[in-house]
Amino acid sequence: MTKVTASIAVNALVDIDPYLAPHVEELVYRRKLADDWLSKFDKDEGGILKFADSYKSMGLHIQSDNSIKYKEYAPNAVAACVIGDFNNWEHDKHVMEKQDFGFFEITIPPNADGSPAIPHNSRVKVFFTLPNGEKIARIPPYITRATQPPKEYKNPTFEARFWNPPVKYQFKNKRPALPTSLKIYEAHVGISTPEPRVGTYKEFTKNLLPIIKDLGYNTVQLMSIMEHAYYASFGYQITSFYATSSRFGTPEDLMELIDTAHGLGLRVLLDVVHSHASKNVEDGLNMFDGTDYCYFHSGGKGTHDQWDSRLFNYGSYETLRFLLSNLKYYLEEFKFDGFRFDGVTSMLYIHHGIGEGFSGDYNEYLSPFAPVDKEALTYLMLANDLCSTYSQGENFEITTIAEDVSGYPTLCRPRLEGGVGFDYRLAMSLPDMWIKLLKHEKDENWNMTKICYTLSNRRYKEKCVAYAESHDQALVGDKTLAFWLMDAEMYTNMSLLTPLTPVIDRGIQLHKMIRLITQVLGGEAYLNFEGNEFGHPEWLDFPRQGNDESYWYARRQFNLIKDDMLRYKLLYQFDKAMNTTEGRYTWLNCDPAYVSLKHEGDKMIVLERNNKLFIFNFHPTNSYTDYRIGVEKAGAYRIILNSDRAEFGGHDRIDEQKSEFFTTAFSWNNRSNYIQVYIPSRVALILALEEEIKENN
């Protein structure tokens, strides 16, 4: 594409946001950096999809005659061989041939009986000789299975396994179509059991998927899937990128989980960590070929000081091969439906966001001299190119989500326009707002205007995933919404056999309202971390030295929602009703809401979205009779969701059967009509036009 044509395409961004006009030339330039790589892949590899097929040739692969072909990239090594259980770890039996451009290859013939020379699930390593004569053994980067040795072993490092199961998993279900609105259930397989231990893929499939479906979520986001040697890293210190976590079961168990989810109509996203890698040497990528720059930047540029991890060199051909192939591997072999990219802010900037604030001045992002890591930006563009190209070929839509706190403009605009190509970004300011409010202010002092501003403050035509809390707020050292609201009494007064105290009553009502207004006003998709929907009573803390390797807090107590004598089930039922009501009537993934009222004295917020009317009374004590509410569309309105229902832990102060509201053609709060409603204290209502209700019944 010529520069002129590219400029015309980028002008579509300017039509949306005129403040981008001074930066068109830089946007065109940044787009060209990625387009040049695409041209190179087209010329040298047969396209980006073929390039990303490299995982099928790199690493160890069984051939049709049961020979095993192994290809590795280690440019610093002068010699290499394959060692393992199959050859008694001897260094002279299976010597690899050095090829051009730093590659080594070997084809290991089958045994005399025709069986593969390396048995399934046996241990393997690659053994290098370095220029100075040093010998090092490493786990192959493209290995698809890595396991922790028994505890009695003196060396606790993970071991590479040649994975060649006799029976390959056969997927039974098609990927579900992209839902109208994404409602995401963020989950960690290992903690998804009430017992203090590591849960499994099979247990998650059996026990959690039905709960997620019942709650009305349509997308599962799985954390900690890529193999990580340190469990307490929450899966963010990856050691083997192509190996799925062996703690939870086999790769086939994960395939079954995803396949079962698809059968339930649930899409599955992978929390992918391409922003950094573990510093581990013996069971990680670090110092793989004896240098610190095989896949990473060398020296200080290749180290993230706060995360104590290694940083990829996104300008390297082989690093791009490794990472782009990694994405296609999970799309093709496991049938994931998309990715949530971790640490995008760290990737985007040379300073990695450390100690830096973002004022919103476009020059901070788009000036030619802005501290943007353009190689990392290019990689993110290419990653989205890969997903969109693969999506077209497979005739299904892949979802990509960016974890970015900086507000980088054009992050969620199409590549054709000069954007980075993500579908969504996480609305990371929202949980911060709620935590600050709960921590520092009484709710009678909450500022309705500021709440609405924060919830609705996002870039026009760039979609956001709204959430009131994610896994970050569940970690030890922080508190979940439920804990901030009720921790003083959660262990004593959540039983229905005890009187409803003011603390618990306040907590239950505000928990529902906070989650609902966040979903309604905060974005085009919604996310919840497992257990938060029912106000999980404890934080999350993985076994580590600081807690004597305890699993007590590395679990989610789903047993609590099954106890009819506990109030947790009431919050569960509201979350279910919130999601299922959205599924029927739709307000997510629509044009942004119009907020018609933010009344500080009454503590009232009123808004409309997709012809639904949302009324929030945050006042702790004041209920209002015949409260006048402006609404644009004339007609008769009825309640479709009421947080005050007893089944949700409310007080049943509204007779919904008699609650029908007819508009009066008189302008109110900049709306063409008004209705009058009874709205009790700490209650949220959703109203819809009667004809829409009839259509949905």
Q: Which tens digit of pLDDT belongs to each residue from 533-577?
A: 999 998 899 999 899 999 999 999 999 999 999 999 999 999 999
403 classed as catalytic: yes
Dump pLDDT digits (tens) for 460-472: 999 999 999 989 8
Beta bridge partners of 399: 338
The upper half-sphere exposure of residue 673, i.e. CA atoms within 13 Å in the direction of its Cβ, equals: 16
| Phi, psi for residue 447 in degrees, rounded to 5 | -95, 110
| Least confidently predicted of 148-162, 194-208, 264-278 | 148-162
> How far is it, in rounded angstroms, from Cα 314 to Cα 311?
9
Q: What is the mean pLDDT of the chain?
A: 95
Predicted local confidence at residue 11, as pLDDT: 81
Mean pLDDT of 39-57: 97
> How far is it, in rounded angstroms, from Cα 567 to Cα 507?
11
Predicted local confidence at residue 472, as pLDDT: 86
Question: Is residue 224's pLDDT more than 70?
Answer: yes
Within its chain, how far is the Cα of 138 from the centroid?
A: 30
Sign of CA dihedral 70, 329, 332, 379: negative
Sign of CA dihedral 505, 508, 511, 512: negative
Q: Which CATH number fits domain 183-585: 3.20.20.80, 3.40.50.970, 3.40.1410.10, 3.40.640.10?
A: 3.20.20.80
Question: Is residue 65's pLDDT more than 70?
Answer: yes
Find the catalytic residue in 342, 443, 538, 692: 342
* Domain 594-695 -> CATH class: mainly beta
Find the catalytic residue in 403, 575, 644, 692: 403
Q: What is the pTM of this model?
A: 0.96
Give the start-to-end residue ranges of the domains of the chain.
Answer: 3-48, 53-162, 183-585, 594-695
Predicted local confidence at residue 5, as pLDDT: 57
Mean pLDDT of 426-455: 96
Per-residue pLDDT band at 180 (split at 50, 70, 90) = very high
97 classed as catalytic: no
- The DSSP output letter for 52 is G
Mean pLDDT of 432-436: 95
Tell me whether domains 53-162 and 183-585 share a fold.
Answer: no
Q: Which fold has domain 53-162?
A: Immunoglobulin-like (2.60.40)
For 55-182, strand residue ranges (E) read: 59-62, 68-73, 79-84, 97-98, 103-108, 122-129, 135-138, 146-147, 159-162
Mean pLDDT of 524-538: 96
Q: How many residues does the chain have?
A: 697
Predicted local confidence at residue 203, as pLDDT: 98
Question: Is residue 639's pLDDT more than 60?
Answer: yes
Predicted local confidence at residue 393, as pLDDT: 84
Per-residue pLDDT band at 354 (split at 50, 70, 90) = confident
Question: Is residue 178's pLDDT more than 60?
Answer: yes
**Comparing C-alpha atoms, which of 194, 165, 260 is closest to residue 222?**
260
Per-residue pLDDT band at 697 (split at 50, 70, 90) = confident
